[in-house]
Amino acid sequence: MDTAGPGWELWRTFDAVMRMGSLSRAARALGLTQPTMGRHIAELEAMLETGALFTRSARGLQPTELARALAPHAEAMAAAAAALVRTASAPADAASGVVRISASEVIGAEVLPPILATLHRAHPGLTLELLLTDTTSDLLRRDADIAVRMTQPKQQALLVKSVGRIGLGFYARRDYLARSRPIERPADLGDHAVIGFDRDSASLRSIEAVWPDLPRFTLRTDNQLAQLAAVRAGFGIGVMQDPIAARDPMLVPVLRETFVAYLPVWIAMHEDLRSTHRMRIVFAALVAGMASHVAKGAA
C-alpha cells in the first residue's frame, strides 16, 4: 500500500459510488465523467492493495465487505470536507455564509419553510442548506451545523436548547367522518381506514407505548409526509402534529381524550460554533420559530 495513502479525490468518488450505487449516477452527482469515476475506483483499489471494492450485478455496483467497512470513514471524511467549505464561506463575525440545518422530513417540509423565509429576509447574506432525514445527524462529525431534534441530544460538547413539546393526535377530514361510521371509543376504529407505519419498528413501538391496542393499518407507509397527505386527502385517520392540523379547518381530532402523545423539541449545535455569528443567528431563529410552532399547538 502507498504509505502516503489515497487522496481525498479518490475517497470522494468512493463515497459517491457507495451512496448512488452506480458510476453513472455518482458521476452526475460530482459533475465528473463515468470513465473518470471508474479510473478513480481502480486507482483506489490499486493503492489499498486489498482487492475489489465493488462487484457488478444486474442491480448495479454491489459493495464488497471491505467497501462496507470503509464506508463510514469515507462518510466522515465527506462531512469534514463539507464542514471545511462551510466554515470558509464567510468570516466568523459576518452575518453571511453557509449554515447546514438538519431536521426530520415533517419539520423540514411543514414547519421550517416560513421560519427560514423570515430568517432570509432579515439576513439575505446567509445560504441555508436543509438536510431532511428521520435519522439523527451527527453534529460532532459535522453532518450538519444545527439540528432540530425530537429526542434529547445525548452527545457531549453540544449547545442544546429545549423549546417545549408538540402535541400529537389522531385527525381526519370532516367529509371522511361524515360519510363513515361514528367513532365513540377506540374499538370503533376497526371499522375505519387508519393510516400508519409500514416497517419503521421504532415509530411503531413509540405509538404502541401510548396506545397498546393499536388498530390495523389500512394504509402503511414509513414516509410521514405521505401519511399527512393521505389524511388531508380524506383517506382516513392518522397521526398529526396539533399545530400542523390546526392550519386546516377541514381536519378535526378523533378520540382526543384517548390518544395523547407529545414530541419534545430541541435545537442543538456543536458548542465550538457559538463563536460564529451566523451560527448564533440561525440557532436563535430556530429556537424562536420552533417555540412559536409549539405554542400554536397549545392554543
- In tens, the pLDDT along 173-187 reads 999 999 988 888 888
Would you tell me how many other CB atoms lie within 10 Å of the CB of residue 271? 13
pLDDT at 3 over 60: no
Full DSSP string of 104-169: -HHIIIIIHHHHHHHHHHH-TTEEEEEEE-SSPP-TTTTS-SEEEESS----SSEEEEEEEEEEEE
- In tens, the pLDDT along 102-133 reads 999 999 999 999 999 999 999 999 999 998 98
- What is the amino acid identity at position 99? V
Per-residue pLDDT, 187 = 82
pLDDT bin (cut points 50, 70, 90) of residue 205 is low
Per-residue pLDDT, 119 = 97
Per-residue pLDDT, 92 = 80
Per-residue pLDDT, 292 = 93
Per-residue pLDDT, 150 = 86
Query: Given 3-state DSSP classes, what are the helix, strand and coil percentages for the chain, each rounded to the nearest 5?
Result: 45, 20, 30
Per-residue pLDDT, 60 = 74
Per-residue pLDDT, 189 = 84
Q: Which residue has the cell 414516509?
A: 223
pLDDT at 208 over 70: no
Distance of CA 35 to the CA centre of its chain: 33
Per-residue pLDDT, 127 = 93
Taking residues 42-66, report their average pLDDT.
Answer: 86
Q: Name the CA radius of gyration of the chain, rounded.
A: 23
Between residues 245 and 212, the one the model is more confident about: 245
- Determine the Cα–Cα distance for residues 135 and 288; give it in Å rounded to an integer: 23
pLDDT at 211 over 80: no
Which of the 8 DSSP states describes residue 182?
Answer: -
Q: Among 151, 139, 150, 122, which residue's Cα sits nearest to residue 274?
A: 139
pLDDT at 270 over 70: yes
Please count the residues of the chain: 299
Per-residue pLDDT, 191 = 86
pLDDT at 231 over 90: yes
Taking residues 230-244, report their average pLDDT.
Answer: 94
Q: State which of 8-22, 27-41, 71-85, 275-289 shows the largest mean pLDDT.
A: 275-289
Chain-wide mean pLDDT for the chain?
86
Taking residues 254-282, report their average pLDDT.
Answer: 89
**Coil, strand or helix at 42:** helix
Distances (CA, A) of 37 to 31, 56, 200: 10, 15, 34
Distances (CA, A) of 47 to 10, 16, 66, 129: 10, 18, 14, 34
**Coil, strand or helix at 73:** helix
pLDDT at 286 over 90: yes
> In this prediction, what percent of the chain has a pLDDT beyond 70?
91
Taking residues 65-70, report their average pLDDT.
Answer: 91
List, in sequence order, every residue forming a beta bridge with 98; answer none if it has no partner: 127
- Determine the Cα–Cα distance for residues 208 and 203; give it in Å rounded to an integer: 9
> In this prediction, what percent of the chain has a pLDDT beyond 90?
40
- For strands 195-196 and 158-173, give the pairing: unpaired
Which of the 8 DSSP states describes residue 257?
Answer: T
Burial of 218 (0-12, 13-18, 19+ CB in 10 A): middle
Which of 153-157, 197-201, 211-215 shows the lowest per-residue confidence on average (mean pLDDT)? 211-215
